[in-house]
Amino acid sequence: MNKFTQGIIFISLIIFLMISIVAVVIFFGRTDEDYSRIAFVLNGDSSDSGWNRSLCTGIEEFSDSTDIPILTEYNIKEETGNVDDVCTDLIKRDVGVIFLTSYGFTSECKKVIEDNPNVSFYGTSSDVKADNYTSYFVRYYQARYLAGILAGMHSKSGKIGYVAAKKNSQVVRGINAFTMGVRSVNENATVYVKWTNSWSNPNVEREAARTLIKDVGVDFLTYHQNQPNVIDTAEEYGIESIGYHEAFEGYSEHYLTSVVCNWGTLYKELIGDDAAAGSSKDMCWLGLERETVGLSEYSPAVSNNERLFIEAAKARIISGKDVFTGYIKDNTGVVRSEEGESITDSELMNNMDWFVEGVEIYVK
């Protein structure tokens, strides 16, 4: 074989390899370099105390840890149809990873997710099943359980109020875990739940809290809402409360602590070194073991013995005895878990539509 023929063969091989690489890129989608942006879609902004401000803090922490440009879309409301348009626009701007941070966004964005398989979506519900969609959350329920222990220790009447936004698995999980914590130290206590049917409606939330105080006689309050309006009402009536999403300042020692989350840790875990590839998992759920959830600094009204008791409960969870483990009965008398069993993550994430023993829904 002469040098001319060898040269032709060599050039042919190079051309073949180049065509193959192009074909692979076309077939499998974008190259790593194309995934140059990550976007977060929020239903509020950093001025909203509670949920949105805690998310913004986490996004800022994550942004400081990566060179990837971060885009944030603020004040996109559920049930308006706006999330579809926002995500479509983000994709046109070459965003390859989109975080949907409000529970209802996922179902509203279903078609956009399915129509854009080369974009990785992360959402806080499991309403969509797609190769490019990952449901993620933190195990807030573990910290809710610890908060329930504290509430159970402090409630003198055994009547505890819980103002809750919407009946979905995420909210119900928290109510159940909190109630189990309460009843682990006060087996006869009852957690009274009042629905608001909204993530954020200050007047409705305050009225729900007042109703639980005046009509039911609760002497302790907590909530699952975006903002701390329930704490405001508890302060007004001089009763104790536990907050949600972030530690708050300016309240009396009746405000004992908050159930809080470190979103930055979760975002770094989800993205890691694989952001460029848009890599995703079926479900990502971090908890006490990674310090993504916990209780904020305690009020002086919480004794050292109470703190130690809660730390012991936390250690048990981290060691493997999760909240929804062992014998669990619902509030209709049906056994949901036997001794030696645990409720699966899939059930907790997707199918928790029942309440544990000790929960009473107040409908008046």
Q: Tell me: the pLDDT tens digits for 186-201?
A: 999 999 999 999 999 9
**Do residue 135 and residue 146 come from a single domain?**
no
What is the arithmetic mean of pLDDT over 316-342? 96
**Do residue 46 and residue 119 come from a single domain?**
yes
**Residue 9 lies inside a defined structural domain of this protein:** no
Distances (CA, A) of 317 to 170, 243, 290, 309, 335: 19, 21, 12, 13, 22
**Do residue 223 and residue 256 come from a single domain?**
yes
DSSP assigned state of 191: E
**Do residue 132 and residue 279 come from a single domain?**
yes
**Do residue 195 and residue 316 come from a single domain?**
yes
Return the minimum-mean-pLDDT range out of 18-32, 49-63, 74-88, 121-135: 18-32
**Do residue 278 and residue 189 come from a single domain?**
no
**Do residue 105 and residue 221 come from a single domain?**
no
Pairing of strands 293-295, 255-261: antiparallel
**Residue 1 lies inside a defined structural domain of this protein:** no
DSSP assigned state of 225: S
**Do residue 248 and residue 342 come from a single domain?**
yes
Integer Rg of the chain from CA: 24
* Averaged pLDDT score across all residues of the chain: 89
**Residue 40 lies inside a defined structural domain of this protein:** yes
Q: Is the pLDDT of residue 30 over 60?
A: no
**Do residue 315 and residue 250 come from a single domain?**
yes
Q: Residue 244's CB: how many other CB atoms inside 10 A?
A: 26
| Strand, helix or coil for residue 286 | strand
pLDDT in tens, 126-182: 888 899 999 888 999 999 999 999 999 999 999 999 999 999 999 999 999 999 999
- Rounded percentage of the chain residues whose pLDDT exceeds 90: 76
**Residue 23 lies inside a defined structural domain of this protein:** no
Confidence (pLDDT) at 20: 46
**Do residue 73 and residue 128 come from a single domain?**
yes
DSSP 133-190: EEEEEE-HHHHHHHHHHHHHHH-SSSEEEEEES--SHHHHHHHHHHHHHHHHH-TT-E
**Do residue 98 and residue 113 come from a single domain?**
yes
**In the numeric block, which tokens belong to residue 217?**
């006689």
Supply the range of the domain harboring residue 323: 140-260+293-361
Please state the separation of Cα 100 from the chain's center in Å: 11
pLDDT in tens, 270-315: 887 444 444 445 678 889 999 999 999 999 999 999 999 999 999 9
**Residue 350 lies inside a defined structural domain of this protein:** yes
**In the numeric block, which tokens belong to residue 333?**
């008398």
Domain count, the chain: 2
**Residue 24 lies inside a defined structural domain of this protein:** no
Q: Which CATH number characterizes residue 190's domain?
A: 3.40.50.2300
**Do residue 350 and residue 222 come from a single domain?**
yes
**Residue 215 lies inside a defined structural domain of this protein:** yes
4-25: b or e for each residue (b if 16 or more CB lie within 10 Å)?
eeeeeeeeeeeeeeeeeeeeee
Q: Is the pLDDT of residue 9 over 80?
A: no
Which amino acid appears at position 284 of this protein? Answer: C
The whole-model pTM stands at 0.84
**Residue 14 lies inside a defined structural domain of this protein:** no
